[in-house]
Structure 1
Amino acid sequence: MKGPARTAAQLAGVAVVMAALSFAAVPFYDWFCRVTGFGGTTATAVQAPAGVLDRTVKVRFDASLGKDMPWRFKPAQREMEIRIGEVGLAFYEAHNPTDRRIAGTASYNVAPFSAGGYFTKIDCFCFEMQVLEPGETMQMPVTFYIDPDIVTDREGKYVREITLSYTFHTTDLPADTAAATKPPATGTN
């Protein structure tokens, strides 16, 4: 290839590589955040660590709703004092005040960011679709602990308060669930 054809082929190759990298960016960023705790991303565990320290941390709970989410959503408690390594249990409450079934999914964040990798969830309602019937209220638990390694982290050792924030967003109901919510067809044949 010569001249313009070669340049066009190189530009096409660059475009293909850039497109591939853009698709890989989201999973890579998600992995990076989970490994490092960057952006307040929490860790997950099956059980709590063996040791509980005497040092305590105040955990504050925050709740908000995404655009167009008609639910009412709040933490059952505003804050709790917990020892580092101790398992904590908190509840959030969601209520559907409408006359229709609504599905929602919660995203979360932890502040300050330096605590994100040490705030470890054992069980959580986040990223799982929740469906509330008209007028239904649901209590949703979050089981967590603060990893004792926080006391040796360069920034984490200064953390005395952590805020766990959840935001509920409207989610489309699955086709089989949505079909069940439609009234039966009526009419004459």
Structure 2
Amino acid sequence: MAGQASLPGRGKARTLAGTLLMLAAMTALGFASVPLYRIFCEATGYNGTAKKELNAIAPGEVVGKIVNVRFDANVKPGMGWSFEPDDKVKRVAVGARQMAFFTAVNNTDRTITGSAAFNVSPPQAGQYFTKIQCFCFTEQTLKPHERVRMPVIFFVDPQFAKDPDTRDISEITLSYTFFPVASSKVTG
């Protein structure tokens, strides 16, 4: 009988251990899901996210289609930065490598590190918009009142002009928003 009395206690311990293990796994998955989703979107162009190709070169095939690429720049309120594109719109030949510049200014008396999130709209154009070089691939640290000019090198894949879902699109918007990284401790 003594052996049978200890079984219910052992079952409770197993249930508690299993519950704690599941809680830990769900917490870990919750933290990992955002970066994993971003990596997935960057790799596939899903949800309007531009492809990130560090070793990509423009395909060399320039098709006759021209699109307007509109540039949008934002910062998190209270960050203390000004951020804007040098050009609001560029006429771009599909398939041709292009370069655009953005200027960021730290308007505060402290050093701030920021990270840029980007999006491409309309969403169906994201899979064809490839960034070769971009300030958004790394964190940017600006000293007090520092001004920097940052390039982005990109191309629109020639398949954009052939896809029935995108061939009628005449304008693509590349939008960036700078957020402070946790170590900057921006208030506001």
TM-score range, shorter chain: 0.7 to 0.9
Structure 1 letter corresponding to 2:45: G
Task: Report the count of equivalent residues.
Answer: 174
Query: Residues 85-139 of structure 1, C-alpha deviation per residue, up to 9 Å, x if partnerless?
Result: 0111110001122222222111111111101111100110004121222222111
Query: Could you say if the C-alpha distance between residues 153 and 170 of structure 1 is closer, same or farther in structure 2, counting changes exceeding 3 Å?
Result: same
Which residue number corresponds to residue 41 of structure 1? 49
In structure 2, the residue corresponding to 1:143 is in which secondary structure?
A: strand
Query: Please, which runs of 5 or more residues in structure 2 have no aligned partner?
Result: 1-6
* Aligned pairs (5 A) from 1:1-189: 5=11, 8=15, 12=19, 15=23, 18-19=26-27, 21-45=29-53, 46=55, 47-172=57-182
Could you tell me how far 1:17 is from its partner in structure 2?
5.7
Structure 1 letter corresponding to 2:46: F
Instruction: Give the stretch that moved more between structures: 104-113 or 150-159.
Output: 150-159
Which contiguous aligned blocks of 4+ residues in structure 1 show a shift greater than 6 angstroms? none
Instruction: Give the stretch that moved more between structures: 66-75 or 27-36.
Output: 27-36
Query: Please, which runs of 5 or more residues in structure 1 have no aligned partner?
Result: 175-189
Instruction: Give the stretch that moved more between structures: 38-47 or 137-146.
Output: 38-47
Could you tell me how far 1:21 is from its partner in structure 2?
4.5
In structure 1, the residue corresponding to 2:109 is in which secondary structure?
A: coil
Distance in structure 2 (CA, Å) of the matches to 1:65 and 1:19: 29
Contact 1:104/1:131, CA 8 A, preserved across alignment: yes
In structure 2, the residue corresponding to 1:117 is in which secondary structure?
A: helix
Query: Could you say if the C-alpha distance between residues 115 and 14 of structure 1 is closer, same or farther in structure 2, counting changes exceeding 3 Å?
Result: same
What is the root-mean-square deviation in Å for CA atoms of aligned residues? 2.7
Q: TM-score, normalised by structure 2?
A: 0.79
Structure 2 letter corresponding to 1:37: G
In structure 1, the residue corresponding to 2:119 is in which secondary structure?
A: strand
Distance in structure 1 (CA, Å) of the matches to 2:25 and 2:113: 38
Could you tell me how far 1:33 is from its partner in structure 2?
1.2
What percentage of residue pairs aligned between the two structures are identical?
A: 41
Query: Could you say if the C-alpha distance between residues 44 and 68 of structure 1 is closer, same or farther in structure 2, counting changes exceeding 3 Å?
Result: same
Which residue number corresponds to residue 4 of structure 2? none
Structure 1 letter corresponding to 2:38: D
Query: Residues 56-105 of structure 1, C-alpha deviation per residue, up to 9 Å, x if partnerless?
Result: 11000000111321011111000011010011111000112222222211
Q: TM-score, normalised by structure 1?
A: 0.79
Distance in structure 1 (CA, Å) of the matches to 2:24 and 2:58: 45
